[in-house]
Amino acid sequence: MDNCTQPNRVCSRCVMDSVVPGIRFGINGVCNFCQIHDRMELAYPTGQAGEQILSVIGERIRRAGRHRAYDCVVGVSGGRDTSYCLYYVKEKMGLRPLAVHFDNGWDSDVAKTNLARLCEKLDVDLHTIIMDWPESRALTNANIRACVPYIDLTDDVGIASALYRTAARESIRHIILSHSFREEGILPLIWNYVDGRYTRSIIKRFCDIQTFNDFKNVDIHHMLYWILIKGIRVVNITNYYDDTGDKVELFLKENFGWEDTGQHHMDNEMFALVYNYTRRKFGFDWRMVELSAKVRTGVLTRPEALEVLKTPPFFETDEMVDYCLKKQGLSHEEYEGIIAASNKYFTDYPSNYPLLRVFRLPIKMLCRMHALPIHAYEKYFECI
Ligand SMILES: [Zn+2]
């Protein structure tokens, strides 16, 4: 990990600072994550141009879904972004989605109610995969004991696995995701790297449970089967519509009785622990990434974002952190020991990353051809 920066330097445009691995400051002190954002803005237009692109994408998905029960799988959590995405797919694109939800045992009641209301009003079938709680708990604890920044690593694997396996079983050719670089920002790779070999190495070394009934890892051979044999494609439609600011929340409230889960990702109550852990152990606040995105799109001013970062998030209370530790079965003593232990990153454990590096040139070409997200090469090989 090469962090070519001066200590405590903050980007002159957003609020990403020199704590972020791989950050570099260019002309006028603007960071490379802002530059990636600007390139993505050009590559993924919204408004009329975005609608035209979505219409072509929609037609392709509709054709692939002909004679099948569903056109696409949409991953949903009950939070803002996935709720709006499901609405967009059904009502604006006129597709027949199957909503798929992965519950790791930490769903908030608000998120559950949101999801049930939304699917009922949109008349969309909802398939929920509920993880066995002892397995889910043991996997999260393994990530925490590995001392890596991304303690919801195995949940992301669970989500990917649920989406692909459902699509494969139902013969659905498209999975629709709703990650928004305009609202959620761009994470440095070192904070949220995931792959099958890395996940397996964390489980082998740190997990109390070694054989699983519910949890299914996602490995290279699974991906090859789903992509090459089953022909499943992933589309991130959020790139092509304007989802910034309060208008999305207001729309969902008015039309679907949707309730605010409080913050991006707070549809999952474990995030009180997620934020506490990284803030205390790694010295960064996950909100820095999405606040930076909001500054870039003009939803917030830079001084407003810096002000927000002066205090921990409202949901990261001592009570909530205690509740999370208790539910995870982690003692305060063990937790404090983990906070004090050496920080680790995916580069400290076996992973497929060295293999990915072998293919960096073909990956660069695929990014240029838009066959992969345009920032994938930069994120995987330059911002690290
Ligand atoms: Zn910046």
Q: Looking at residue 292, what is its pLDDT?
A: 98
Whether residue 187 is contained in a domain is answered as: yes
157 shares its domain with 304: no
163 shares its domain with 254: yes
Q: Looking at residue 263, what is its pLDDT?
A: 55
Q: Looking at residue 265, what is its pLDDT?
A: 53
Q: Looking at residue 3, what is its pLDDT?
A: 44
Quickly state the pLDDT bin for 64 (edges 50, 70, 90). Answer: very high
The conformational region for residue 258 under phi > 0 = left, psi -120 to 50 = alpha, else beta, is: beta
Mean pLDDT of the chain: 91
Whether residue 384 is contained in a domain is answered as: no
3-state DSSP assignment of residue 149 = coil
Whether residue 382 is contained in a domain is answered as: no
294 shares its domain with 253: no
254 shares its domain with 163: yes
| Residue 375 CA from chain centroid, whole number | 15
How many A from CA of 35 to the centre of ligand 1? 7
Mean pLDDT of the region 234-238: 91
How many A from CA of 3 to the centre of ligand 1? 15
Residue type at 92 in one-letter notation: K
160 shares its domain with 87: yes
Q: What is the pTM of this model?
A: 0.91
User: What's the burial of 170, exposed, middle or buried (CB within 10 Å: 0-12/13-18/19+)?
Assistant: middle
How many A from CA of 190 to the centre of ligand 1? 17
**Percentage of the chain surpassing pLDDT 90?**
78
17 shares its domain with 97: no
For 97-113, the pLDDT digits (tens) are 999 999 988 888 888 89
- State the Cα torsion 237-239-242-247 to the nearest 10°: 70
How many A from CA of 218 to the centre of ligand 1? 33
Nearest to 258 by CA among 71, 108, 118: 118
| Residue 77 in this model has a pLDDT that exceeds 70 | yes
Beta bridge partners of 103: 130
| Residue 73 in this model has a pLDDT that exceeds 50 | yes
25 shares its domain with 124: no
Contacts of 193 (CB under 8 A, 6+ apart): 150, 345, 346, 351, 353
Give the range among 51-65, 141-155, 172-186, 355-369 with minimum mean pLDDT: 355-369
158 shares its domain with 298: no
Q: Looking at residue 262, what is its pLDDT?
A: 64
Quickly state the pLDDT bin for 90 (edges 50, 70, 90). Answer: very high
Query: Do 219 and 197 form a contact (C-beta atoms < 8 A)?
Result: yes
Higher pLDDT, residue 233 or 376: 233
How many A from CA of 351 to the centre of ligand 1? 29
Whether residue 37 is contained in a domain is answered as: yes
How many A from CA of 302 to the centre of ligand 1? 10
Whether residue 363 is contained in a domain is answered as: no
95 shares its domain with 172: yes
Whether residue 165 is contained in a domain is answered as: yes
Contacts of 59 (CB under 8 A, 6+ apart): none
How many A from CA of 294 to the centre of ligand 1? 11
Handedness of CA 360, 363, 369, 374 (dihedral sign): negative
Mean pLDDT of the region 120-142: 96
Query: Do 235 and 57 form a contact (C-beta atoms < 8 A)?
Result: yes
| Residue 7 in this model has a pLDDT that exceeds 70 | no
| Residue 209 in this model has a pLDDT that exceeds 60 | yes
Other residues' Cβ atoms within 10 Å of the Cβ of residue 96? 18
- Residue 91's Cβ-side half-sphere holds a number of Cα atoms within 13 Å equal to 14
Range of the domain at 100: 46-278+317-351
Find the CATH number of the domain harbouring 82. Answer: 3.40.50.620
Whether residue 25 is contained in a domain is answered as: yes
How many A from CA of 296 to the centre of ligand 1? 8
Quickly state the pLDDT bin for 159 (edges 50, 70, 90). Answer: very high
Angle value at C-alpha 57, between 66 and 178, nearest 5 degrees: 105
34 shares its domain with 177: no
Mean pLDDT of the region 136-148: 97
Mean pLDDT of the region 352-361: 91
How many A from CA of 382 to the centre of ligand 1? 16
294 shares its domain with 272: no
How many A from CA of 37 to the centre of ligand 1? 9
Query: What stretch of H or E contains 118?
Result: helix 109-122
Give the range among 60-64, 202-206, 224-228, 343-347 with minimum mean pLDDT: 224-228
Whether residue 337 is contained in a domain is answered as: yes
Contacts of 303 (CB under 8 A, 6+ apart): none
> How many Å apart are CA 198 and CA 347, to the nearest integer?
9
Domain count, the chain: 2
Q: Looking at residue 384, what is its pLDDT?
A: 72
How many A from CA of 383 to the centre of ligand 1? 13
Domain-terminating residue out of 258, 293, 310: 310
Q: Looking at residue 267, what is its pLDDT?
A: 65
30 shares its domain with 58: no
Quickly state the pLDDT bin for 1 (edges 50, 70, 90). Answer: very low
Query: What stretch of H or E contains 47?
Result: helix 47-65
Residue 1, token pair as written in the block: 């990990």
> How many Å apart are CA 250 and CA 252, to the nearest integer?
5
Q: Looking at residue 208, what is its pLDDT?
A: 95
